Amino acid sequence: MRPEHSSPPRRNAGLWGRSASPRLCGLLLVAACLGFYSNVFSLIPGRRQIGESQSSTEGGHLQGQAEVLPLSPDSHGGAPQGVLEETTTQWSERDCPPDTCRVPEVPRMVYPKAQLLKPGRTDVLVMTPWFAPVIWEGVFDSAILDAQFRNATIGLTVFAIKKYVVFLELFLRTAEKHFMLGHRVTYYVFTDRPSDVPRVPLGEGRRLVVLEVRSYSRWQDVSMRRMEVISAFSRRRFLREVDYLVCVDVDMAFRDRVGAEILAPLFGTLHPGFYAAARSAFTYERRPRSRAHIPADEGDFYYAGGFFGGSVAEVLRLASACQQAMAADRADGIEAVWHDESHLNRYLLYRKPAKVLSPEYLWDEHMLRRPPFLRKLRFVAVPKDHAAIRH
């Protein structure tokens, strides 16, 4: 092929009357295109104010979303957000930990209005004196809460050591029906028998992770060492993988919705056996030598050891504190009367939870008669032969 060479001006040089070199034409072409497209895509700085100033991001580091200004009714929640550039600095996520600075936007929703003069529930306590809501049926709107937490990933930890693997099938199947539907969920099953973990079909956005841990000969130790495992894995994995952690017992089944209403920086559940008891009747650890000691004139509630949780950072703090307290007790040769539950109660007395779950969230039908204020049973104990299963 003959190489190009610049040619002298010609008379018949096409449309332009004088010939321009191809390079010049090309340059003109590029300049013209730039001129038009920069107008279209707002590359020229002067036009950029609206794009820049209308975006910001809210919520935690795992919840980046462009702010949607309600520019017209049609754009409520449905505006093509790709057009608005996200250029404002993201200081709010970097510096605000997700558990405290969360005011996520909710899209346009239609729901009945709350009446200030008509409390939802008058038969039960709905808020603790430190402003933690007590979660009962009739107190929350699940649609709003699901929308507020729609980007949250929840981890559910459960321990199936030795013979307790038999409970996994029912647990996981019912969790698939009732636990955090519509959210991303990761089940963390801690077991010493990974091959016995059943294959349960999981829904969209949900996965199961089996983690092998050692077992202990005494069931009390199995129960107490859960705190150690949770704190270790929180540091190693959960901080990076999920936003919220829920730690439950395995010998249970879900019967009704357990959803985003429970999510909080730290939450505990009321033990079904003590919701009506006076604080002196709570089975706290009463020996002053133990680190789980609570005097007789203190205590808000008796929290159950079988359902607690919160943001990963707070659960890590709780589990580490309980583990260290238990280790100190072990060194002193004392074991709290209800093991990890006693230590949990001590922790939650002095670091008050941000939400408290009612006994709807932890019930035992075979040991307790169902009272009228319990409108739903969401998470119930599966009957088991204690003697057989623990040995």
Partner 1 sequence: MLCPAMRCHRLALGLGFCLLSGTALCLLWKYFENWLLISYVPYYLPCPEIFNMELRYKGEKPFQPVTQSLYPQPKLLEQRPTELLTLTPWLAPIVSEGTFSPELLQRIYEPLNLTIGLTVFAVGKYTRFVEHFLESAERFFMRGHRVHYYVFTNEPAAIPRVPLGPGRRLSVLLIQRHSRWEEISTRRMETISRHIAERAHREVDYIFCLDVDMVFRNPWGPETLGDLVAAIHPGYYAVPRQQFPYERRHTSTAFVADDEGDFYYGGAVFGGRVAKVYEFTRGCHMAILADKANGIMAAWQEESHLNRRFISYKPSKVLSPEYLWDDRKPQPPSLKLIRFSTLDKDTSWLRS
Site residues for partner 1, window 296-325 (CB under 8 A)? Answer: 297-301, 314, 317
Q: Under rule CB under 8 A, which residues in 351-390 are in contact with partner 1?
A: 351-352, 355, 373
- Residue from 61, 173, 257, 279 that binds partner 1 (CB under 8 A)? 279
Q: Which residues pair with 127 in a beta bridge?
A: 133
In 10 A of CB 287, how many CB atoms? 11
Nearest distance, CB of residue 97 and partner 1, angstroms: 5
Nearest distance, CB of residue 306 and partner 1, angstroms: 19
Is 161 labelled a binding residue? yes
Is 271 labelled a binding residue? yes
Is 216 labelled a binding residue? no
Residues 244-263, mask of contacts with partner 1 (x by CB under 8 A): -----------------x--
Exposure class string for 198-233: b at 16+ Cβ within 10 A, else e: eebeeeeebebebeebeeeeebebbbbbbbbbbbbb
Two tokens, residue 326 = 């238990």
Is 275 labelled a binding residue? no
Q: Could you say whether residue 64 binds partner 1 (CB under 8 A)? A: no
Nearest to partner 1 of 8, 333 (CB atom) = 8
Nearest to partner 1 of 124, 202 (CB atom) = 124
Q: Select the span of 9-17, 203-211, 214-222, 247-255 touching partner 1 (CB under 8 A).
A: 9-17
- On whether the CB atoms of residues 242 and 155 are closer than 8 A, the answer is yes
Two tokens, residue 165 = 């693997």
In 10 A of CB 117, how many CB atoms? 4
In 10 A of CB 288, how many CB atoms? 8
Q: Could you say whether residue 62 binds partner 1 (CB under 8 A)? A: no
Q: Which residues pair with 211 in a beta bridge?
A: 190
Q: Under rule CB under 8 A, which residues in 321-350 are in contact with partner 1?
A: 349-350
- Residue from 53, 64, 177, 289 that binds partner 1 (CB under 8 A)? 53
Q: Under rule CB under 8 A, which residues in 66-125 are in contact with partner 1?
A: 67-75, 79-80, 83, 88-89, 91-92, 95-97, 100-111, 113-120, 122-125
Q: Which residues pair with 191 in a beta bridge?
A: 160, 212
| The residue to which tokens 């002298």 are assigned | 8
Nearest to partner 1 of 7, 391 (CB atom) = 7
Is 105 labelled a binding residue? no
Nearest distance, CB of residue 226 and partner 1, angstroms: 22
CA dist list (Å): 325 to 112, 168, 344: 47, 30, 10
Nearest to partner 1 of 5, 214 (CB atom) = 5
Q: Could you say whether residue 217 binds partner 1 (CB under 8 A)? A: no
Size of the site for partner 1 (CB under 8 A): 109
Q: Show the beta-strand stretches assigned E in the chain.
A: 134-135, 153-160, 184-191, 206-212, 244-248, 252-254, 266-270, 303-311, 355-357, 379-381
Is 183 labelled a binding residue? no
Q: Which residues pair with 371 in a beta bridge?
A: none
341 carries an active-site annotation: yes
Is 89 labelled a binding residue? no
CB-neighbour burial class of residue 95 (10 A; exposed 0-12, middle 13-18, buried 19+) = exposed
Q: Could you say whether residue 177 binds partner 1 (CB under 8 A)? A: no
Question: Which listed residue (285, 314, 341, 360) is catalytic?
Answer: 341
- Residue from 131, 195, 199, 386 that binds partner 1 (CB under 8 A)? 131
Two tokens, residue 41 = 């895509």
Two tokens, residue 106 = 């909710």
Nearest to partner 1 of 118, 214 (CB atom) = 118
Q: DSSP alpha helices (H): ranges in the chain?
A: 22-41, 49-53, 91-95, 142-148, 168-178, 219-233, 239-241, 312-332, 340-350, 386-390
Nearest to partner 1 of 1, 388 (CB atom) = 1
Nearest to partner 1 of 278, 388 (CB atom) = 278
Two tokens, residue 90 = 């993201």
Q: What are the binding residues?
A: 159-161, 164, 249-251, 271, 283, 341, 364
Q: Which residues are catalytic?
A: 341
List binding-site positions for UDP-N-acetyl-alpha-D-galactosamine: 159-161, 164, 249-251
